[in-house]
Structure 1
Amino acid sequence: MLEQVLHERMPHHVDRPTKTCVVCGRPFQWRKKWKDVWEEVRYCSERCRQNRNRALPVPGATDRPQMSNSLTSDRH
């Protein structure tokens, strides 16, 4: 009976949703303190949040074509 009560309070770790940290790239699981803000959570820890300027590149973000300097190099 106690196990059933505990299971109703918090889902088992296998059943919890996971996300990938945008800084370190490691997966992390839902925590009770993130219950109301889970959609906004992007970082696995305070350390990664503080290092957010070192975030891993987003796939597809750097696939933009580069501007060629050939047009400007012809001018003298």
Structure 2
Amino acid sequence: MSKKNLPVKLCPVCLREFTWRKKWERDWDSVRYCSERCRRSRSTRQRIH
């Protein structure tokens, strides 16, 4: 894959787009958050809304 054609998702916590990474190759379908920080803060964010 070229860098131009990498899949992109939207992080539900920070609302930023993030791009596929090699380390997520096996479980890209289950990746929801762009970073560990967003993953940890997901519950805090959900309580606010």
Runs of 4+ with deviation above 2 angstroms: none
Task: Name the Cα RMSD after superposition.
Answer: 1.3
Structure number with the bigger relative contact order (C-alpha 8 A, sep ≥ 6) is: 2
**Secondary structure of 1:50 counterpart:** helix
Whole-Å separation in 2 of the counterparts to 1:13 and 1:46: 23
Greater gyration radius: 1
Of Structure 1 and Structure 2, which has the larger fraction of its residues in helix? 2
**Percent of aligned positions that are identical:** 52
Q: Which of 6, 26, 29 is equivalent to 2:16?
A: 26
- Say which SS state the counterpart of residue 3 (structure 2) adopts: coil
- What is the TM-score of this pair, normalised by structure 2? 0.85
Aligned-residue offset at 1:13 = 1.5
Q: What's the CA shift for 1:14?
A: 1.0
Q: Secondary structure at the match of 1:24?
A: coil
Deviation at 1:12, TM superposition (A): 1.7
CA deviations over 1:16-37 (Å, ceiling 9, x no partner): 0000001000000000000000
| TM-score of the aligned structures, taking structure 1 as reference length | 0.56
Specify every segment of 5 or more residues in structure 1 that has no aligned partner in the other structure, as ranges. Answer: 1-10, 58-76
Hey, what's the Cα distance between the residues in 2 that align with 1:35 and 1:43? 15
